[in-house]
Amino acid sequence: MSEIVLSKQELREVAAFAAACAEAVLAVFEADQPDDSRPRDAVSAAWEFARGGERGRNLRDTASAALKAAKNAESAAAREAAWAAMSAAGAAYLHPLAKATQVKHILGAGAYAARAAELVAGDDRSVGAEHIERMMLHATPAVVDVLKRFPMAPSGGGRVGELTRTLDAGLRSLSLAE
């Protein structure tokens, strides 16, 4: 299996993109669980890494805590929002393996966030599509470049998988100048 060279700065760009995606739906989780800061803590940890912090235990711990918070969510939308936060903290751990499954580290936060937005809107898929369009505006040329080094997102994964592939195709269609 071939490896993809990734710099720490590229990982920071990916983490910033994921954090921006997850941050957009934090309020969904917080409306469901107002006293639980674990997803917000995970997004904050992703931002901290993106802005020059270390890639270490805090990212792993907050990602794990956001995953546990998802299990406590009362609504499916809140659960998806917590998973978006977990994915944001995990984005810093994109592995340099040329495997389609690694695309989830880049796009998972965005796909979960779009699904959370859909569910809040009564499972309106047009809301997810609009959310994907807005998220594409957060992708820097570096994020698009990193994404294009990996195989396309894998099949499967239900609605979140569909959203991942939609975001993947949309970002791959951008030129690096955009």
User: Does residue 134 register a pLDDT over 50?
Assistant: yes
User: Does residue 177 register a pLDDT over 80?
Assistant: no
Residues facing residue 3 across a β-bridge: 97
Return the pLDDT at 144: 96
Distance separating the N- and C-terminal Cα atoms of the chain: 31
- Mean of pLDDT values over 78-84: 98
Return the pLDDT at 178: 45
Give residue for tokens 């030129």. Answer: 175
User: Using one digit for the tens of pLDDT, what is the confidence trace for 92-132?
Assistant: 999 999 999 999 999 999 999 999 999 999 999 999 999 99
User: Using one digit for the tens of pLDDT, what is the confidence trace for 41-67?
Assistant: 999 999 999 999 999 999 999 999 999
Check if the beta carbon of residue 5 is closer than 8 Å to that of residue 46.
no
User: Does residue 6 register a pLDDT over 80?
Assistant: yes
- Give the separation between CA 84 and CA 23, rounded to whole angstroms: 8
- Give the separation between CA 133 and CA 76, rounded to whole angstroms: 22
Return the pLDDT at 2: 83
Work out the pLDDT band at 143, boundaries 50, 70, 90.
very high
User: Using one digit for the tens of pLDDT, what is the confidence trace for 7-35?
Assistant: 999 999 999 999 999 999 999 999 999 99
Return the pLDDT at 1: 61
User: Does residue 176 register a pLDDT over 70?
Assistant: no
Check if the beta carbon of residue 57 is closer than 8 Å to that of residue 120.
no
